[in-house]
Amino acid sequence: MELTHFNEQGRARMVDVSEKAQTFRVARAEATVCMAKATMDKIKEGTIGKGDVLAVAQVAGIMAAKKNSELIPMCHPLLLTKVDISFSIEDTALHIFSEVRCRGETGVEMEALTAVSVAALTVYDMCKAVQRDMRIDNVHLLYKEGGKSGVYEAEGETWRK
């Protein structure tokens, strides 16, 4: 497999996508924040001192997807057409899901992964006064489509189209 992020001198470069056709791109990702039931209860009750944890994490995830190319050095700035953050709550686990879309020359996997990562970090930040030993786990790509590599779907995807 050719390593496309290196120039002739072996130094890092951003890949040239100017000759690639614009296609519809979508990616979904997931992250999990593991915590004590008491912490989750406070999130559900809205009694975390910093405010509505899920609302703030949702906005943080959206903002992170939009700023992805400023955080990950070789990512291209993309005109995103959709960013959605949603949650699934269990007694001791908060599952965070993202869906990111665009019409462009390159995929949105990194935007989807960045969105769930920053949303999870935001949950940690907002709840750390209550519980410092929360754990962010299982950050992974669930689904992607578009481009020449086609469709990828993780085994056991939990968020369907």
Q: Of 25, 18, 5, 32, give the one whose Cα is nearest residue 135.
A: 32
Helix, strand and coil content of the chain, in percent to the nearest 5, comes to 30, 30, 40
Q: Which of 16, 125, 133, 137 is catalytic?
A: 125
The answer to whether the CB of 110 falls within 8 A of the CB of 72 is yes
The 3-state DSSP class for residue 160 equals: coil
Instruction: Examine the residue annotation and report whether 91 is marked as an active-site residue of this protein.
Output: no
Task: Retrieve residue 60's tokens.
Answer: 């943080």
Q: Which amino acid is at 67?
A: K
Burial class (CB in 10 A: 0-12, 13-18, 19+), 136: middle
Residues taking part in catalysis: 125
